[in-house]
Chains A and B, each alone.
Chain A
Amino acid sequence: MSTVKFTEEHEWVLVEGDVATIGISNYAQEQLGDVVFVELPDVGKELAKGDEAAVVESVKAASEVYAPVSGEIVEINGVLDETPAKVNEDAQGDGWFVKMKLSDASELNELMDEAAYATFTAGLD
């Protein structure tokens, strides 16, 4: 069974087997505005939870995206290179950033589920 989880830094994680797909939340893309560039890590890179995993750039500013879990990058979303606006169109779907092979599945327990994240973001506005 796969469920999507969220961090307080507005990343989402969808786990299927031992691979997690990671992106930024719809809330995050709305706050950022038009995404013009996404810098993704190299496949094979090992990241610890909290490490900088990617950088997402809007017209005005650059924002870091942190690894919500520890593991190895096994795939990056090449579509974002040509079409960074995909992040705005479908942040929690086709606009995903990376796939990671989890090294510690228990880290997922610390993340918020969709309802908890919705409550969290409602409190930010």
Chain B
Amino acid sequence: MGTQTTEELLKTPLHGLHVELGAKMVPFAGYDMPVQYKLGVLGEHLHTREKAGLFDVSHMGQAVIEGPDHETTARALETIVAADLVGLERGCMRYTQLLNTEGGILDDLMVTRPADASDDGKLLVVVNAACKDGDYAFLQANLPKSVSLRIRGELALLALQGPAAVEILANWCPEAADLAFMTGVSTFFDTIPCHISRSGYTGEDGCEISMAADKAEEMARMLLSDEGVEPIGLGARDSLRLEAGLCLYGHDIDETTTPVEAALTWSVGKRRREEGGFPGAEKILGQIANGASRKRVGIQPEGKGPAREGTEIVDGEGNVIGVVTSGGFGPTANAPVAMGYVAREFAKVGTPLTLMVRGKPRPAEVASMPFIEKRYRK
């Protein structure tokens, strides 16, 4: 995908606005996306933690899985994920992963059960941009005849994140203020029909808003008219989620990592642990019972030098015991932050590690995540 020319790249409905705002555009998952605006990655990161940042996440895949009733649809999706979806209440959303037969992660996704009883039987899913074609094919191949997949390519997706996000959103959409964390509702933003949920990928309070693509720019301009809102690019999106300890698909999780190894065991539903019935259940349930041979952990490098993705982790004798899967500088932590996989005996918080940064050993230790105080609205 890195070789694609600008002409071949897809554009989100906000592409023109990004360019108008002075964004530096880069290819990402087949889309021409803003990596940063005039504020720069550092400024955008800090602004999001201070006030509110607006993210265009329209490149992500939105789809509806639709069956005759909630139980049928939920059970169908449960054959390929380990979350309890049958028990998902109306208006609630859940984080889960599409699994292969080895228990590896094909993608991670958000599943929302619509709030309105008349929508029972529908589950809304949001998947990663880089994975969406494969995900849709996988879903099509695994859903029974009575349950269909409808790709909602006509929708855009915005996220407003930060401590002031909800208060600002409430100016146009008062319902936002009443939403609990990980719940959503179909409503209006001013006069624009939308689905809004209290969720995000930054470790901050905030919402994600889905609306018709041709209304996205109008909504974005309204939000940007508030002086507390700045547009935020992919650069700060990455540093924000890293500080929050959240996984990036293709880096921290992939087809070779299980939810247990990835420290996502919390997302495996209690009923699913008892019943199994998802791909790789034997392996995943075995790992829950006996522990996995490796685990994703937070890593705090000593000093100021960041350790990047791919950095080898060694023990005191120089034996390789793991690898950094995401690493950089955390602007809010004001320190380098990283995450990666280590052998199980090194996974305890406080365990000293050595990072081989450009061939030189650098001390680090296993750290608890997030690296910043989480401020989700519970």
Contacts and interface: CB of A to CB of B under 8 A. Distances in A.
A binds B: yes
Interface of A: 33-34, 36-37, 39, 55, 57-62, 81, 84
B378 interface: no
Contacts of A37: 304-306, 329, 336
B45 interface: yes
Contacts of B114: none
Given A34-B41, A36-B329, A60 B305 contact: no
Kindly list the 9 A-B residue pairs having the minimum CB-CB distance in the complex, ordered from nearest. A34-B42, A36-B329, A59-B41, A37-B304, A60-B235, A59-B329, A37-B305, A33-B40, A59-B239
B66 interface: no
Contacts of A34: 40-43
Contacts of B235: 33, 59-60
Contact of B36 (A33, A36, A57, A62): A33
Interface of B: 35-36, 40-43, 45, 235-236, 238-239, 304-306, 308, 328-329, 331, 336, 358
Nearest to B45: A59
Contacts of B304: 36-37, 81, 84
B140 to A, nearest CB: 36
A55 B329 contact: no
Contacts of B35: 60
Contacts of B358: 39, 55
Nearest to A84: B304
A111 B328 CA distance: 33
Nearest to A58: B41
Given A33-B36, A33-B42, A84-B304, 4 more contacts: A34-B40, A36-B304, A37-B305, A37-B306
A108 B182 CA distance: 61
B308 A62 contact: yes
Nearest to A81: B304
Contacts of B305: 37, 39, 57
Centre residue among B238, B304, B331, B336 by max chain A CB count within 10 A? B304
A59 B42 contact: yes
A56 B293 CA distance: 35
B266 to A, nearest CB: 29
A37 B329 CA distance: 9
Contacts of A33: 36, 40-42, 235
B41 A60 contact: yes
Contacts of B236: 59
Contacts of A59: 41-42, 45, 235-236, 239, 328-329, 331
A34 B329 CA distance: 11
B326 to A, nearest CB: 11
A82 to B, nearest CB: 9
Contacts of A84: 304
Nearest to B43: A34
- Indicate the member of B36, B306, B336 with the most A CB atoms within 10 Å: B306
9 contacts: A34-B43, A37-B306, A57-B306, A59-B41, A59-B42, A59-B236, A60-B235, A60-B238, A60-B328
A60 B239 CA distance: 8
B278 to A, nearest CB: 36
Contacts of B308: 61-62
A58 B331 CA distance: 11
A60 B14 CA distance: 23
A57 B329 contact: yes
Contacts of A60: 35, 41, 235, 238-239, 328
A62 B358 CA distance: 11
